Each structure stands twice: as C-alpha cells, then as structure tokens.
Amino acid sequence: MNPQHSDAFVFFGATGDLAYKKIFPSLQAMVKRGRLTMPVIGVARSAKNLEELRARARSSLEKHGGFDAAAFDKLSGLLRYVKGDNSDPATYQALRKELGSARRPAFYLAIPPTSFEAVVEQLGKSGCAQGARVIIEKPFGRDLASAQDLNRILLGAFEEQAIYRIDHYLGKRPVERMVFFRFTNPFAEAFWDRNHVESVQITMAEDFGVQGRGAFYDETGTIRDVIQNHLFQVLCNLAMEPPVRTDSESIRDEKVKVLKAIPPLGEKSVVRGQFLGYRNEKGVAPESTVETFAALRLEVNSWRWEGVPFYIRAGKCLPVTSTEIVLRLRRPPTVFPGLQLKQNYFRFRVSPEVMVAIGANVMAPGATIGESHEMLGVRQSGADEMDAYERVLGDAMAGDATLYARQDYVEEAWRIVDPVLKADTPIYPYVPQTWGPGEVVRVTPPGGWHHPVNL
Ligand code: BG6
C-alpha cells in the first residue's frame, strides 16, 4: 500500500441518504476489487448498534448496489460504529478509541453543510484531525463569501492538501476522456481554438424533477446544484491548456486558469426557468423563484478562446436525461455555389452512454451534386466502468487529489456566478418535458441548441 494511503475510513452521516444510495455501494465495490481492507467506521445517531448499521448497509446494497454475499461479508467485517451526536465531544472520544492505531484516517462528511463546522471543530479539538484528511460534499458554500468562510473553518483543523472537495462529475470517466481525446489526437487539437471553433455548448438534461429533494433544491437551484460545479468542470476540461505534468497540482492549475479567464456573468447572459408544478413539490415555497432550468453564455478571454461563446444549459423535467457537449466549427468558404453546407462539429456524449462523434459533409451516394451530413462516431459501453463515487473515494483514500476541486478553483467558480445569483433575474415557467422556457432564444448558440436524444 502506498505510504500516503489512509489507514481508516470514517464517514459521518452513516445512516443518511447519501450513505444509503452511494457510499455503501461504493464501499462494497471497493471490497470486491480488493481495494478496501482497512476499518470502515460509521458515525451517526440513529442506528442503535453495529448490527443495525450492518442491516442498513445490506438493505442499501440490495436496493442500490447489487448485493454480493461474499463482498458484503468482508465489508461487514470491516465495519465499526460510533453512535453519537456530531457536536458532542464524547462522540470524538469514542471515535479516537475506535480508530485505535490508525495514523492517517480519512473523514468523509456525508452530512448537511450546516453540520460541517461542528464536526471539523471537534475533529480538531479531539486530536483526530492529526495526520488525517477530510472529504466534503458540495455545495462548498452558497456564494463566494460563504465558500471562503467554510474554507476558513476547514483550515482551522486541516491543511489545504488534506482537504478533498468532492465533485462526483470529475469521477466520471467520460468527463476525463474528453481531456484524453484532446491531448492524444493532434488532429483535434489543431482545430481546438478561436480560429476554427464557432461556439461551444454543454447540455445537462434530466427528464425527472426534484425527486423528493424539494427542500434542498429550493435552497439551491440549478446554477448552484450542477452548473457552478459539475458543468464548470466539464467546461474546464474542454478549454484548458495541456498540463505540463500530470500530477494533481499541474492539472488543477490549468483548470483554474480557465476560470480566471471568464468574466463574471451579466444578467443578460442568463435565462432562468422553472417547470410548471415545481411549486407544488414537498418542501418548495409556494411562491418560489428558484430555477429548475438555466441557460448561460460565457466568455473565456484567453489567447485560445477569445471571441468564442460558451453556452451551458441544464435543467430538470426536460425531454431526456443526457449530458452532451458540442463544439461547432466555423462554416467553410463556398466552393460549391448553392449548397448549404452544414458545419463540422465534435460531439461528446457523457451520459447515459459514452460517445465521441465528428460531423462531416460527405456527398450522398449516387448524387451528382448534393450533400449529406455524416457522423463518424465511436460509442462505448459503460458496463465495466467504476462508479464515480467509488472512483473519487478510492482516490481520496489513496491521497490523489486530481479529481477534487481546489479552493482557488471553487472561489473562481463562485466569482463567475455570484452576480447572477444575487441579481434575482426573472424566472420563466416552462412545460415539463420541453426544452425550457421560450425566452431561452436570448441565450442560444448560433445555429441553435443541439438537443440530445435517447439512443
Ligand atoms: C447532483 C445533483 O450533484 O448531480 C443532482 O445534486 C443531479 O440534482 C446529479 O441530478 C446528477 O448526477 P448524475 O451522476 O446522476 O448524472
């Protein structure tokens, strides 16, 4: 095992929703791959004892993780339980005892952000934080100022290198593959700039609503929930320069540079929408003006990208569930008069399937003069893919921060969206299962939005 590897995994919120849906399945998957052999300590209040936590883990796996009897047995053997309140010093005394000889524990805060401060403070005071790392879930604050406050709290007990901010989108292989595609295919890189690209668009569509998370969503909205974090990460992978080395800091430096080149969003560069029926969801205010859809236009004022508009669109209750990216290239000059040629493009489908496609003009067979547009594509099955959570948690345990957001990155991302979050721009209703409100024409790429379809 590498000397940086954690020697115990502790997760707060062990009986919570995130643990149930994501953490137990990821832990079982790690056990199956032989990647998890250290103690796994759950901290929570509501399970009576370890047996009850084991029963919850089992039920989680049966529902979300493809229960595997042998792996579950091993995971059960690693599992420990500390019952206690997050702000009670006695919980941390018990935790210290349970940690035994562990010197490099990883603490995962799978709890609401309102409890972060108490836990971090107690980890510091009890001495548990020494030699440890901490993993926290988004959102990292609600805006620039609160993100800075949260960071001050974290830095009170941990060094920046020991803080791992999860953005599970970074754990998705197809998101990382965009970087691989760019920097291993010189033909693509040759077109990857302001001279050839007319516009870039990113769509993250979900055909479902807030799925019982109304109270959370009504505090958050689409821009905070998925744009400021997940989709900005995608944007950075598309727009960054090749890193000079592949260590975590060299890669994260390049991403931060992309954000630094983006001016704060103006009100005219955003259209916000809300699906009809959202206000009737449990936990949502009857007069809520929180967005369930947003479309934005950004500028990346770098040497490579100046003048190329970047569009981002995300929403709930749209016609499909898919994330796709399209780089549309500039039109060619006319050699064949009268022909309306389509534009070349690169298209990446990140979910649910994985696909890279290139759009090219090819003369239709048998035509004297005419055109058809063909897509040259590679489609991959995601069947053997490691789940994003398994991947990022495994990396944090191993001490690799590449797939985690660094604080300077988080702050730059808030700087960009802060003005529109505070501006209270109009909210336009839209009919569920459509592509958002009609007003989105104001923030639409030249040539229109590309709508992903179900394959
Ligand atoms: C989460 C958001 O971070 O990402 C959800 O809170 C969203 O609202 C989800 O649905 C999408 O992630 P995935 O991996 O399911 O596509």
Please indicate whether residue 230 is annotated as part of the active site: yes
pLDDT for res 395: 94
Mutate to test the pocket of ligand 1, among 176, 219, 228, 230 (most ligand atoms within 8 A of CB): 230
Better-scored residue on pLDDT, 116 or 386: 116
Residue 210 Cα: closest atom of ligand 1: 8
pLDDT for res 384: 62
Better-scored residue on pLDDT, 354 or 386: 354
Q: What percent of the chain has pLDDT over 70?
A: 97
Nearest alpha carbon, ligand 1 atom 8: 225
DSSP string, 184-241: H-HHHHTT-STTTEEEEEEEEE-SS--TT-HHHHHHHHHIIIIIIIIIHHHHHHHHPP
Better-scored residue on pLDDT, 377 or 38: 38
How many angstroms does the Cα of residue 315 sit away from the middle of ligand 1?
A: 11
- Same topology, domains 8-137 and 170-443? Answer is no
The model's pLDDT over 414-427, given as tens digits with 9 standing for 90+, comes to 999 999 999 989 99
The model's pLDDT over 164-216, given as tens digits with 9 standing for 90+, comes to 999 999 999 889 889 999 999 999 999 999 999 999 999 999 999 999 999 99
Residue 172 Cα: closest atom of ligand 1: 14
Domain spans in the chain, listed from the N-terminal domain onward: 8-137, 170-443
Residue 345 pLDDT greater than 60, yes or no: yes
Residue 149 pLDDT greater than 70, yes or no: yes
Question: Could you give the angle at the alpha carbon of 340 between the alpha carbons of 336 and 344, nearest 5°?
Answer: 95
**Domain 170-443 CATH class label:** alpha beta
| Spatial separation of the C-alpha atoms in residues 151 and 130, rounded to whole Å | 18
Structure tokens at 306: 């100046």
pLDDT for res 377: 81
Nearest alpha carbon, ligand 1 atom 11: 226
Task: Determine which one of 230, 373, 450, 451 is catalytic.
Answer: 230
Nearest alpha carbon, ligand 1 atom 10: 206
Mean pLDDT of all residues in the chain? Answer: 93
What are the φ/ψ torsions at residue 75 (nearest 5 degrees)? -60, -40
Q: What is the pTM of this model?
A: 0.94
Nearest alpha carbon, ligand 1 atom 13: 169
Residue 268 pLDDT greater than 70, yes or no: yes
Residue 371 pLDDT greater than 60, yes or no: no
Q: What residue type is assigned to position 22 of the chain?
A: K
pLDDT for res 369: 58
Residue 349 pLDDT greater than 90, yes or no: yes
The model's pLDDT over 223-243, given as tens digits with 9 standing for 90+, comes to 999 999 999 999 999 999 999
What CATH number does domain 8-137 carry, 3.30.420.10, 3.40.50.720, 3.20.20.70, 3.90.1150.10? Answer: 3.40.50.720
